């Protein structure tokens, strides 16, 4: 997961250089790009929190899937904005290329995280089905943990 963090930090650095570009003073269209990149920066911070600064070896796939889904949506909006406003807002070609590469990595990470979530859901579903087919844990324990115990009637 450390490689995810390094890619995201690189993307954040690229986004940071883009946000500070003087071309953003040109128009409201350029300011829209700044909003997209600020949102992206916030999402990358969420990913960093999720990984605990790269210290966590295990990451909750459900949380990662949610954040990377938002990051991919943001990346799609950012790419469209860059395509539409590249010349007007003087977006460097290198930045457009770096953003596109970062967006592809985000899509891959989303696929991995959401794929893990789907596998987890399938495994949970199978476990519940097996439990139901076998009568569940209650049948193995002689009636379950209901708090009642049958006491034989008559003399002991």
pLDDT in tens, 132-151: 887 655 444 544 455 555 66
Q: Do the Cβ atoms of 8 and 42 come closer than 8 Å?
A: no
pLDDT in tens, 49-63: 887 766 766 788 999
Please, which residues have CB within 8 angstroms of residue 60's CB and are 6 or more apart in sequence? 50
pLDDT for residue 99? 94
Spatial CA neighbour of 78 closest among 10, 2, 14: 14
Q: What is the largest CA-CA distance in the chain?
A: 96
Q: Is the pTM of this model over 0.85?
A: no
pLDDT in tens, 66-93: 999 999 999 999 999 999 998 889 889 9
pLDDT in tens, 10-68: 444 444 444 444 444 457 888 999 999 999 999 999 988 887 766 766 788 999 999 99
pLDDT for residue 52? 76
Separation of alpha carbons 45 and 12, rounded Å: 9
Separation of alpha carbons 91 and 95, rounded Å: 7
pLDDT for residue 9? 42
């Amino acid at each position: 997961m450390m490689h995810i963090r390094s890619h995201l930090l690189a993307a954040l650095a690229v986004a940071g250089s883009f946000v500070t570009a003087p071309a953003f003073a040109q128009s409201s269209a350029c300011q829209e790009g700044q909003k997209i990149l600020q949102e992206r920066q916030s999402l990358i911070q969420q990913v960093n929190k999720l990984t605990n600064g790269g210290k966590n070896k295990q990451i909750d796939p459900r949380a990662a899937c949610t954040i990377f889904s938002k990051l991919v949506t943001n990346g799609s909006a950012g790419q469209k904005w860059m395509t539409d406003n590249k010349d007007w807002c003087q977006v460097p070609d290198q930045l457009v290329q770096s953003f596109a590469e970062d967006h592809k990595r985000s899509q891959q990470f989303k696929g991995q995280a959401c794929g893990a979530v789907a596998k987890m859901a399938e495994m949970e579903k199978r476990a519940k089905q097996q439990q139901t087919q076998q009568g569940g844990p209650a049948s193995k324990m002689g009636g379950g943990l209901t708090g009642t115990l049958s006491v034989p009637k008559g003399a002991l």
